Amino acid sequence: MFIKENISKVMTFLYQTKNCLSCGVRIRFGDIDCPHCGAELEDLYIEWATKLLRSLNCEERN
Ligand SMILES: [Zn+2]
């Protein structure tokens, strides 16, 4: 049951809109650089992954 719930959480996270931290342009998941200003998106993905992991860990504790 936990797996199903976690999968739906991951899907929700994947469909979340992400925006470039430098110029605010909407980012498609999988882009390595911002298509508008060329900024590296590593920080954005790290932040995104951290939130996702936190969300999944919380679910396990409940
Ligand atoms: Zn940008």
Please report, for the chain, the start and end positions of each structural domain, with discontinuous segments joined by +. 15-61
Task: Say what the pLDDT of residue 34 is.
Answer: 96
- Provide the greatest CA pair distance for the chain: 42
The whole-model pTM stands at 0.70
Task: Say what the pLDDT of residue 59 is.
Answer: 52
Convert the pLDDT of each residue in 3-62 to its tens digit.
898 899 889 888 888 999 999 999 988 889 999 999 999 999 999 889 999 988 865 554
Task: Say what the pLDDT of residue 28 is.
Answer: 85
- CA 21 to centroid of ligand 1, rounded, Å: 7
Task: Say what the pLDDT of residue 61 is.
Answer: 54
- CA 25 to centroid of ligand 1, rounded, Å: 5
Distance between first and last Cα of the chain = 12
- CA 47 to centroid of ligand 1, rounded, Å: 16
- CA 20 to centroid of ligand 1, rounded, Å: 5
